[in-house]
Structure 1
Amino acid sequence: MTRLPTYFVSHGGGPWPWMKDQYGPTYAELEASLVDIKRQVGVRPTAVLVVTSHWETDDFTVSSGTAPGMIYDYGGFPPHTYQIRYPAPGEPQLAARVVQLLNDAGQPARLDAERGFDHGTFSMLAPIYPEADMPVVQLSIRHGYDPAVHLAAGRALAPLRDEGVLILGSGLSFHNLRQFGPGGALASNAFDTWLQHVLLELSPADREQALLHWSEAPYARMAHPREDHLVPLWVALGAAEQEAAACVYHEESFFGALTVSSFRFGDAAA
């Protein structure tokens, strides 16, 4: 079995794949980068584990239903975006495996058979697997956003990469909704420059230390007033902590002014 890379994906806003008439080319570069993930992976995964920034719990929680429903966790969008269906199946066996790995590593975890797909999952997956035939399991992030806890969770989940599971952390490298536009240009660029340096240039040990102290980065709290959309990065990196990173999406004019990026950890297919 091929060892699969892991990803941190900037997932965009709301149900954007279903709003191309409204957004025009706004998401063209992001969409192209997501489509290319399938090529980079090179093989068909057995399933996808999405670490979603849109699900916060006290203990790690894993979606375990066989046919997850939909969670329209956004507001003010056109009526048709509340009828979206992304009918990918769940994978209860994988969900149980995730809980086992986390519990064995001292990270309390439980199953949730009722949890549906949130937009951090279905909007990001739609370009990668448009047929919605890939089994999908979601993992929550933990309240408190402790970097060490989430890096450790990723470490515990690393064996899944040798079992054909694609681990995707779904967040956004800049997430300050009050500064979505020209007001966020400086902060998003400065924080992204720091993130690129840390992930692409530092040694694995120094990279981890920098992320443990991410709030000391330039414009950190302007880029992430709440770091929920950064947390999935730590899990994705933890699952491939000794491996090289690559930037797989970088845009400096997102919503006209913002700098955002996505990253892969581990090698792409030849």
Structure 2
Amino acid sequence: MLPSLFVAHGAPTLVQEKNKYTELLRVLAERLPRPKAVIVFSAHWEAPVQRIGSAVKYETLHDFFGYPEALYREVYPARGEIALALQAQELLQDAGIASVSDDARGLDHGAWSVLKLMYPQADIPVVTMSVNPRLVPEEQYRIGRALAPLRERGVLILGSGGTVNNPQRLEWNSRGARDWALAFDEWLAEQIETWNLEALFHYEALAPHASDAVPTAEHFAPLLIAMGAAHRGKKARLLHRQYQLGTLSLSCWMLG
């Protein structure tokens, strides 16, 4: 059975970078069993009701501004998987979670940047998923848990976001992490590795510097969803962590 993954996508330029993190994603994809399909929850698709991508073929969305022109020429021509989208909708319905199908939404950079690094040939079907940052952590976790049976069918469930993601406090000349960012990530790692849901569900009150690390919840939600998908095994392994611009963590967690 495939694990679920949480993969940080950092700045949009990540897809064109070559560093230890991008190499880790490439090698990880090679070492994992080849998935039949990928379900990806992207922090950059927000919706009040869970939306499920059901496009036959996805448009590549360049949902960012002010970056080098070459970045806007990046494409990821992934095809969809309508049957899998319907299976996901049924599982969510069984869990009492409302959802709607969306055949118009393309792949935003939270989805295609990491998929391109891991599966550059775009030859694995993809089903995209929105996130709702207004949900409490328990509800995020429950979404992932509802979809967990898909892992047994060869589907990779991937959350794309960032444990520390504060674009308002970027340090353009930084090569490491701000002290508060590191303190938050170290606290978080301890809770994930021990599967301490009580602490994780109350991270806003318990974690050091939570409001700095997670000023808005959309980048944190995919982690909780990916953990929910690995509920039965409750195993977690941090594969890599580094930082961009002081306040963007690039972490990859294997779950389950």
TM-score, length-scaled by structure 1 = 0.88
Report matched runs for 1:50-65 at 5 Å.
Answer: 50-65=40-55
- Does 44-53 or 172-181 show the bigger shift? 172-181
Report matched runs for 1:87-126 at 5 Å.
Answer: 87-126=77-116
Where does residue 70 of structure 1 map in the other structure? 60
Where does residue 7 of structure 1 map in the other structure? 5
Is 1:165 aligned with 2:163?
Answer: no
Tell me by how many angstroms 1:209 deviates. Answer: 1.1
Report matched runs for 1:200-211 at 5 Å.
Answer: 200=193, 202=194, 204=195, 207-211=196-200
- Does 143-152 or 157-166 show the bigger shift? 143-152
Q: 1:48 touches 1:166 (CA, 8 Å); kept in 2?
A: yes
Q: Residue deviations 1:130-173, cap 9 Å, x none?
A: 11111111111124032111111111000000000001100012
Q: Distance in 2 between matches of 1:134 and 1:114?
A: 19
Cα 1:257/1:155, change in 2 over 3 Å: closer
Is 1:137 aligned with 2:135?
Answer: no
Where does residue 179 of structure 2 map in the other structure? 186
Q: Distance in 2 between matches of 1:115 and 1:228?
A: 18
Alignment gaps of 5+ in structure 2: none
Is 1:215 aligned with 2:204?
Answer: yes
Q: CA RMSD in A?
A: 1.7
- Does 142-151 or 62-71 show the bigger shift? 142-151
- Does 49-58 or 178-187 show the bigger shift? 178-187
Amino acid at match of 2:199: A
Alignment gaps of 5+ in structure 1: 21-26
SS of 2:19's equivalent? helix
Tell me by how many angstroms 1:258 deviates. Answer: 6.0
Tell me by how many angstroms 1:44 deviates. Answer: 1.3
Amino acid at match of 2:120: P
TM-score, length-scaled by structure 2 = 0.93
Aligned residue pairs total: 251
- Does 74-83 or 89-98 show the bigger shift? 74-83
Q: Distance in 1 between matches of 2:35 and 2:160?
A: 17
Amino acid at match of 2:164: F
Tell me by how many angstroms 1:232 deviates. Answer: 0.2
SS of 2:239's equivalent? strand
Which of the numbers 10, 13, 21 marks the counterpart of 1:30? 21
Q: 1:188 touches 1:260 (CA, 8 Å); kept in 2?
A: no
Q: Distance in 2 between matches of 1:47 and 1:230?
A: 23
Where does residue 255 of structure 1 map in the other structure? 245
Amino acid at match of 2:122: A
Cα 1:258/1:118, change in 2 over 3 Å: closer
Amino acid at match of 2:5: Y
SS of 1:71's equivalent? coil
SS of 1:107's equivalent? coil
Which of the numbers 30, 44, 50 marks the counterpart of 1:39? 30
Q: 2:43 touches 2:131 (CA, 8 Å); kept in 1?
A: yes
Q: Distance in 2 between matches of 1:30 and 1:148?
A: 29
